[in-house]
Amino acid sequence: MSGTTNPYQNDRGNKDASITRKGGEGDMVPSPGTGQAMNTANAFLIGDTMTGGYGNGPDILHDCTIAVNPGEIAVIVGPNGAGKSTAMKAVFGMLNVRQGSVRLDGEDITNLTPQARVAKGMGFVPQTSNIFASLTVEENLEMGAFIRKGDIQDTMDQVYTLFPILKEKRHQAAGELSGGQRQQVAVGRALMTKPKVLMLDEPTAGVSPIVMDELFDRIIEVSRTGIPILMVEQNARQALEIADKGYVLVQGRNAHTGTGKDLLADAQVRRSFLGG
């Protein structure tokens, strides 16, 4: 797309939200029992006081609340086994929420299947098995638009503008790409649904620090279009540096909640979770 201005590059008031669906903000308040103040009045997506686990097994989440507002990056961090990915899977409908609720844009979606949640506007990128390795890059993106009707070329062009390397390699099998490039394919495929909210489960797992920084830059650019982003990350310090809101989970419970800047400055958070 030579000669085309990248609509994601300007960090001063970028208003290009054409990759999102238009929608209002839900009127949301936390359910009783959160045990802490939660600013969820404008939350596009909230998992509210969730308690639950996998199948008939024991509860992993305990009164866990996760929310993200329009245009925000919300990051879930914590030690191994804290329930970070479990909380995201609960929001996406992949495990039983025995108490609490999940709401998207003001609608209770607690009982919807993951497939139905995608149709409602949730884009989810799992940590592993998140591409079709034998398909080309472009075929992967086309698969992402399976729920849409009509022309998808404009959205594909936007994805190629966001991730130029994917346009260059669009006819190459996705399984032949580097780890960072495969993650770009996975995020691009989720964006092809034109989601209301984008959920990323450890998008920088297994990539080099240079590639991690590049992926975080692209995530910021997506956020500037207005899409709320909910992300689980093991690289806690780097993730909190780009986060508007951070959630520290310990044993499936909210331990600390605040802006990324506030959590980075908190002595207890630094000592317990960020290596001092």
Instruction: Give the pLDDT confidence of 180-195 residue by residue, as tens digits.
Output: 999 999 999 999 999 9
Give pLDDT tens digits for 135-147: 999 999 999 998 8
Report the pLDDT value the prediction gives residue 254, as an integer from 0 to 100: 96
Please check the confidence at residue 26 and state whether its pLDDT lies above 60: no
Report the pLDDT value the prediction gives residue 31, as an integer from 0 to 100: 33
Mean pLDDT of 169-176: 96
Give pLDDT tens digits for 72-109: 999 999 999 999 999 999 999 999 899 999 999 999 99
Residue 4: both structure tokens together: 């085309």
State how far Cα 141 lies from the chain centre: 18
Dmax over Cα atoms in the chain, in whole Å?
A: 56
Give pLDDT tens digits for 109-161: 999 999 999 999 999 999 888 999 999 999 999 999 988 888 999 999 999 99
Cβ neighbours of residue 206 under 8 Å, at least 6 residues apart?
179
Residue type, 107: E
What 27-34 contacts at long range (C-beta under 8 Å, 24+ apart), as own/partner pairs, is: 27/106, 28/67, 28/103, 28/106, 30/65, 31/100, 31/101, 33/63, 34/63, 34/65, 34/254
Q: What is the DSSP letter of 30?
A: P
Q: Is the pTM of this model over 0.75?
A: yes
Residue type, 153: Q
**Nearest partner of 62 among 40, 86, 80, judged by Cα:** 86
Report the pLDDT value the prediction gives residue 2, as an integer from 0 to 100: 45
